[in-house]
Structure 1
Amino acid sequence: MSNTPMLEVRDLKMRFPIGGGLLDRMRLDKKGFRIENPVVQAINGVSFKIEPGEVMALVGESGCGKSTVAKTIARIYSPTGGDILIDGENISDYGFSEMLPVRAKMQMIFQDPFASLNPRQKVRDIVAEPLLEQTKDAKSQKDIPAEIEALLAKVGLNSEHAGRYPHQFSGGQRQRIGIARALSVRPGLIIADEPVSALDVSIQAQILNLMMDLRDEFGLAYLFISHDLSVVHHIADRVGVMYLGFMVENAPRDQLFSKPKHPYTRALLSAAPSIKPTRDKEEIELTGEVPSALNLPSGCCFRTRCPFAWDRCAKERPVLKDVGDGQSVACHLTDEPEREVA
């Protein structure tokens, strides 16, 4: 059995220049020097691995960069720096034609199931499109209609649905179509970007259970993007916490939920809604606004909102360190825990 991770991300960076048109390039300062366009620092050196059959979740506030990580790994964006390895193959610099065979190993499920499906195509054509692109053998293409019917059955749809258009389905059914399309080429990795956030709670549970059943049947690995901690607790094996483009904590699910180390992770868990009449978890209230990705603070980016910050936090950027039990944390408190105040 291979020890190669299904996905390995090393020091991933993604920058988005703002502007860049003719007028922007002509901007000069008072001394006549050209003014550089501002740059959004969306991802700042993120690293992690996903083993075959493992579910890794990325969580964090809106704008923390988790969806950008997903889209950069899927090569919707070309990374500014770092390496992306799919089953040991470095795809960081691949062009469009080089990525085509890689698509058979990696597929994506999008947040909005309606916007991600072509409204002019019937379901059979939507599901068949990746198969036709990857299958050039004429004999194999004859088997595609039967494969489509089998795939639809796997996700809880029947052969009658194959002749309908996306607008004729509910949101949950449309997401099942998206899952069938992703499964059509038998990938090893599925990137799921908020796949249930647009669905009703009861439908969310159905889709999550379907994804887990398919994981068990096909040995799929998932990169699961979500802001819903209850969903993450249900589906994930490992959780990465992101803040302002940085990975601040990475740990097995149970370890992270029971013993979070980073103050931001603790604040997220503290803010999560609970149906219990009494709360037995700590309360951490964050103040202030999230800094701009155009101008990152010095040192630790979370220090402007952290209740435990001190001088070192402003001077030195913390790096992700192994603190045992499979847990990694980017916080100076791991070096000086006596500074932490309960």
Structure 2
Amino acid sequence: MTDTPMLDVRDLQMHFSIGGGFLDRLKVDGKGVRLENPIVHAVNGVSLQIKRGEIMALVGESGCGKSTVAKTIARIYKPTAGEVRIEGQDVAGFGFTEMLPVRAKMQMIFQDPYASLNPRQRVRDIVAEPLLEQTKTTRDRAGVPERIEQLLARVGLNAEHAGRYPHQFSGGQRQRIGIARALSVTPGLIIADEPVSALDVSIQAQILNLMKDLRDEFGLAYLFISHDLSVVHHIADKVGVMYLGFMVENAPRDVLFARPRHPYTRALLSAAPSIKAKRDTEEIVLSGEVPSALDLPSGCCFRTRCPFAWDRCATERPVLQETGAAQTVACHLIDEPERDTA
């Protein structure tokens, strides 16, 4: 088996320009100097690797950039800068035609099982669509009906379901259809953007267990986006924590949950719901609002809410550093642990 990661993202950046219409181009200041359109810095230098058979989760508050990372890797967005390597091949600059064969290696499961399926298509057509796009010859297409039946059975649906429309299914069943569609072209990587957040808790467990079984059976790699830490603890092998478009911590799941190093990671874990009568650690309540991605703070992106921030945090942006046990953290407390009183 090759050591090349299924997904290797290096210094990924995704910025969005607001405006760009005719009136925006005419904006000038009092001195007649044309004003540039504001830029949303949604993703700022994110790097990650996922091997075959590995599940990596990205977590963080709403608006932290985790879904934008997923959509940029899937090339729904064209990245502003950086590399997106699929089995060693950098696809960041690929156009639509160049991406077609790559999409057989990389598929996506979306958050909303109600909106992600075409209501005018029957299930057989939904599942077959990516498969037919990738199989150009008549000989290959002859086996598509049998393949659809196999896929539906593998995700827990019956052959009779193939003739129905999406509105005739429950939310959990619709997500199973989405999973079958993703599996149809036998990908190596599946990007799952909040795939269970719209489902009941009991159904969530069924879908998560199905995804893990499929990982074991097909050697799939997953990039799993979630804000639910209990879900992440159940499914992930390693976890990346994002804040304001930056990766602030990256570690194996058990290491991160047992010994989080970044103050933001600690706050997330302390705020997660627990069934214990008494928490192992005191809850950390963050003050202030998340800064705007239109105007990033100088230095550390988290310093405006961090209880341990000091002068260095305002002037120097921390970079990810190895701290042992395959854990990397972007925080100045790593260099000056005496300031960390947690």
TM-score range, shorter chain: over 0.9
Could you state the TM-score of these two structures normalised by the residue count of structure 1? Answer: 0.99
Quote the Cα distance in structure 2 between the aligned partners of 1:279 and 1:321. Answer: 29
SS in 1 for 2:103: helix
Deviation of the 1:341 alpha carbon: 1.5
Quote the Cα distance in structure 1 between the aligned partners of 2:339 and 2:276. Answer: 31
Deviation of the 1:279 alpha carbon: 1.1
SS in 2 for 1:190: strand
Deviation of the 1:205 alpha carbon: 0.3
Pairing 1:260–2:260 present: yes
Deviations 1:293-331 (A, max 9, x none): 000000001000000000000010000111111000000
1:321 is aligned to: 321
SS in 2 for 1:100: helix
1:295 is aligned to: 295
Deviation of the 1:278 alpha carbon: 1.2
Deviation of the 1:23 alpha carbon: 0.2
Deviation of the 1:52 alpha carbon: 0.7
Quote the Cα distance in structure 1 between the aligned partners of 2:281 and 2:216. Answer: 33
2:22 is aligned to: 22
Identity %: 79
2:113 is aligned to: 113
SS in 2 for 1:285: coil
Q: How many residues of Structure 1 are paired with residues of Structure 2 in the alignment?
A: 342
Quote the Cα distance in structure 2 between the aligned partners of 1:119 and 1:125. Answer: 11
Quote the Cα distance in structure 2 between the aligned partners of 1:48 and 1:149. Answer: 36
Deviations 1:125-172 (A, max 9, x none): 000011100001211111110000000000000011000000110000
User: Match for 1:15: what amino acid?
Assistant: H
Structure 1 residue runs of 4+, over 3 Å off? none
Deviation of the 1:283 alpha carbon: 2.2
Quote the Cα distance in structure 2 between the aligned partners of 1:141 and 1:27. Answer: 55
SS in 2 for 1:36: coil
1:92 is aligned to: 92
User: Match for 1:200: what amino acid?
Assistant: D
Alignment of 1:107-146 (within 5 A): 107-146=107-146
Alignment of 1:101-250 (within 5 A): 101-250=101-250
Quote the Cα distance in structure 2 between the aligned partners of 1:182 and 1:280. Answer: 40
Quote the Cα distance in structure 2 between the aligned partners of 1:154 and 1:188. Answer: 17
Quote the Cα distance in structure 2 between the aligned partners of 1:102 and 1:87. Answer: 10
* Structure 1: stretches of 5+ with no match in the other structure: none
* Structure 2: stretches of 5+ with no match in the other structure: none
* Superposition RMSD in Å: 0.5
Deviations 1:7-63 (A, max 9, x none): 000000000000110000001100001011101000000001001110000000000
Deviation of the 1:282 alpha carbon: 3.0
